[in-house]
Amino acid sequence: MRPLEAERSNLNCFIIIIYFNLHKKTDLLIQPCKLDHSITISSGDHSLIQSAKEKQDRESRGRIGTAIRLHWEMATAGKVIKCRAAVAWEPNAPLVIEEIEVAPPQEGEIRIKVIATGVCHTDLYHLFESQQKKGFPTVLGHEGAGFVESVGPGVTDFKPGDKVIPLFISQCGECRFCKHPKTNQCDRNWSSKRYDVMSDPTSRFTCRGKPILQFMGTSTFSEYTVLNQIAVTKIRDDAPLNRVCLLACGISTGYGAAINTAGVTPGSVCAVFGLGAVGLAAVMGCKNAGASRIFAVDINEQKFEKAKVFGATDFVNPKAYDKPVSVVLAEMTNGGVDFSLECVGNTEVMRSALESCIKGWGVSVLVGWTDMADFSARPIQLISGKTWKGSLFGGFKSKDCVPKLVHDYMSGKIKLDEFITHNMSLEQVNDAIKLMKTGECIRTILNISK
């Protein structure tokens, strides 16, 4: 037996000792010398427990999990947590690392310790493009994963220590949208009320005496966050949080836009406009759906190499031609593509993607996010038999589907690792934002907590 972790509180009154035997059985001993004080397991110790947890056999798994849960419940439940977060005080300004207060979860809510989060273009949209001053101050981030720290009254499906993904699109399971098979637009989502502000009016965050909004109801650029249980999903215990966090937005969005919303068919010809993580995931969706040709379209040719990894077969830089990209694609495909997906968030590109489809049956899907301008097209585009659609979170019903997508990653059906080009700390969040702005990254993972 070899001691893995042993720590004594300052008060010297309560010791937790965990013995971990790599070769035989794992065992866990909790020795309460006195019961009226609690111990703090530091974050470094927690990572040790976590790595032990990942190696242990089935029999012992529950017992280590119990220790972690025990610690969390004892240390912070019911209390305000002070922690680090990247606060966006105003549009067009760098985020500021601050100490914020995170209130305990209320009825039906869950407080989550965020372990890792991706940085998505929608965070940049809110910060730089939306020009929506009312949506500040806020904590951005909506592509995270972590552990349940504590739960509010009435929460029965989650317990401290569960691995979870916060969802920017909820699934209450009861509204008419949740009950309808054709949509994932839960009526109790933050977006039902305030698309412009991009947050729920209620927030459990304060900083320097001011309430801080929770962007897209999630706010994963923080060590702790609080969500309603309808916007959290539990995932399998062995999922690596610094990978599967990407399923909270970009990858599910692009992948689902291809397989669900567009309904890409075997043997079809597709074009994906914009090769960030969302577009590359759309390429992956087209490939998994059996497309025979996948055109990868981007003004940044450095993205083409990566697009090959996900299954793109042809590469087009619209700037390299003196005619519209729709004409270029029509010439290369005998009249246009069967499916096109716009993954940029630019109304001109949306139009080009529609015009690139073949008449009669072509389907074009808007995936890129913008609410800043009207889009336009000649009516003949639709009269001639094309379909123009949009996709939010890839059409996936979030609570049900994200755990399944985690399985798909763990079984090798979908890729995640290949999207990650950079790993950084929360303190480097402004560097991560800059990398996306300049097109130098696909996804940066911010490692928030251990």
- CB 277 to Zn ion: min, Å: 9
Q: Which is nearer to Zn ion, 40 or 132 (CB)?
A: 132
Q: How many helices (H) and strands (E) does the chain have?
A: 13, 21
Residues 6+ apart with CB under 8 A from 407: 236
- List the beta bridge partners of residue 213: 138
The least CB distance from residue 394 to ligand NAD, in Å, is 7
CB 307 within 8 A of CB 280: yes
Give the nearest distance from C-beta 344 to ligand NAD in angstroms: 4
Q: How far is the CB of 347 from Zn ion (least distance, A)?
A: 19
Question: Is-contact 401 375, C-beta < 8 A?
Answer: no
Q: Which is nearer to ligand NAD, 191 or 288 (CB)?
A: 191
Q: In what order do the strands lie in the sheet with 15-20?
A: 2-8, 15-20, 27-31
DSSP state of 103: P
How far apart are the C-alpha atoms of 44 and 277, rounded to whole Å? Answer: 31
* Residue among 149 and 298 whose Cβ is closer to ligand NAD: 298
Q: Which amino acid is residue 448, in one-letter code?
A: I
Residue 252 or residue 268: which is nearer to Zn ion going by CB? 252
Q: How far is residue 18's CA from residue 21's CA, in Å, rounded to a whole number?
A: 10
Interface with Zn ion (CB under 5 A): 120, 122, 249
Please, what is the minimum distance in Å from the beta carbon of residue 99 to ligand NAD? Answer: 29
Q: How far apart are CA 95 and CA 382, in angstroms?
A: 43
Please, which residue, 184 or 449, has the CB nearer to ligand NAD? 184
Those residues with Cβ within 8 angstroms of residue 136's Cβ, 6 or more apart along the chain or in another chain: 88, 89, 90, 91, 213
Residue reference for tokens 């372990």: 115
Closest distance of CB 148 from ligand NAD, Å:
25
User: Can you say how many angstroms the Cα of residue 312 is from the centroid of all Cα atoms in its chain?
Assistant: 24
- Report the DSSP beta bridge partners of residue 150: 111
CA distance 225 to 139: 10
Smallest distance, Å, CB 113 to ligand NAD?
24
403 binds, among ligand NAD, Zn ion, none (CB under 5 to 8 A by kind): none
Closest CA to 436 of 422, 450, 415: 422
Report, in Å, the least distance between residue 93 CB and Zn ion: 21
Nearer Cβ to ligand NAD (150/220): 220
- C-beta closer to ligand NAD: residue 68 or 227: 227
Closest CB to ligand NAD among 8 and 437?
A: 437
Do the beta carbons of residue 342 and residue 276 sit within 8 Å?
no
Find where tokens 């111990």 sit: 39
| DSSP secondary structure code for residue 63 in this structure | H
**Cα gap 114→140, rounded to integer Å:** 13
Name the residue with the smallest CB distance to ligand NAD: 276
Q: How far is the CB of 63 from ligand NAD (least distance, A)?
A: 39
Q: Which residue is nearest to Zn ion (CB)?
A: 120
Task: Give the Cα separation of 375 and 373 in Å (integer).
Answer: 6
Parallel, antiparallel, or unpaired: how do β-strands 443-447 and 420-425 relate? Answer: parallel
CB nearer Zn ion, residue 249 or residue 354: 249
What's the full length of the chain, in residues? 450
**Nearest 5 degrees, angle CA 252-CA 137-CA 204?**
75
By a kind-dependent CB cut-off of 5 to 8 A, residue 317 interacts, out of Zn ion, ligand NAD, none, with: none
368 interacts with, out of ligand NAD, Zn ion, none, CB within 5 to 8 A per kind? ligand NAD
For residues 368 and 403, which CB has a smaller minimum distance to ligand NAD in the complex? 368
What residues make contact with ligand NAD under the rule CB under 6 A? Answer: 120-122, 125, 249-250, 253, 273-279, 297-300, 303, 318, 343-346, 349, 367-369, 391-393, 436, 439
Beta carbon of residue 96, minimum distance to Zn ion (angstroms, whole number): 22
CA distance 390 to 367: 6
- Residue 312 binding partner per list ligand NAD, Zn ion, none, with a CB distance cut-off of 5 to 8 Å that depends on partner kind: none
Least distance between Zn ion and beta carbon 307 (Å) = 19
Q: Which does 436 bind (CB under 5 to 8 A by kind): Zn ion, ligand NAD, none?
A: ligand NAD
Of 122 and 326, nearer to Zn ion (C-beta) is 122
